[in-house]
A = this chain, B = another copy of it.
Amino acid sequence: MVIPTLADMQAARARIAPHIHVTPVLSSRMLNELSGAELFFKCENFQKGGAFKARGASNAVFGLSDEQAARGVATHSSGNHGTCLSYAARQRRVPCTVVMPKTAPQAKKDAVRGYGGSVVECEPSISSREAAFAQLVAETGAEFVHPYNDPRVIAGQATCSAELIEQVEGLDAVIAPIGGGGMVSGACLTLSSLAPRIKIYAAEPEQANDACRSFKAGQIIADDSPNTVADGLKVPLKELTWHFVRNHVADILTASEQEIVDAMKLTWKRLKIVMEPSSAVPLATILKNPRIFAGKRVGVIVTGGNVDLDKLPWN
Contacts and interface: CB of A to CB of B under 8 A. Distances in A.
In order of increasing CB-CB distance, the 7 nearest A-B pairs are A272-B305, A272-B274, A45-B272, A24-B24, A268-B274, A46-B272, A268-B309
A309 B307 CA distance: 14
Contacts of A268: 274, 309
Q: How many copies does the complex hold?
A: 2
Contacts of A273: 272-274
Interface residues of A, number: 20
A53 interface: no
A50 interface: yes
Interface string A249-285: 0000000000000000100110111110000000000
B275 A275 contact: no
A64 interface: no
B314 A309 contact: yes
B309 A272 contact: no
Contact of A265 (B50, B265, B309): B309
Contacts of A315: 310, 315
Contacts of A272: 43, 45-46, 50, 273-275, 305
Contacts of A168: none
A134 interface: no
A271 B269 CA distance: 16
Contacts of A50: 272
A194 interface: no
Nearest to A308: B269
Contact of A269 (B24, B265, B275, B309): B309
6 contacts: A269-B274, A272-B275, A273-B274, A310-B314, A312-B312, A315-B315
Interface in A279-315: 305, 309-310, 312, 314-315
A285 to B, nearest CB: 22
A272 B275 CA distance: 7
A26 B305 CA distance: 15
Contacts of A275: 272
A314 B315 CA distance: 12
Contacts of A45: 272
Nearest to A269: B309
Kindly name the residue among A309, A312, A314 whose own CB sees the greatest number of chain B CB atoms within 10 A. Answer: A309
A50 B312 CA distance: 22
Nearest to A43: B272
Interface in A20-43: 24, 26, 43
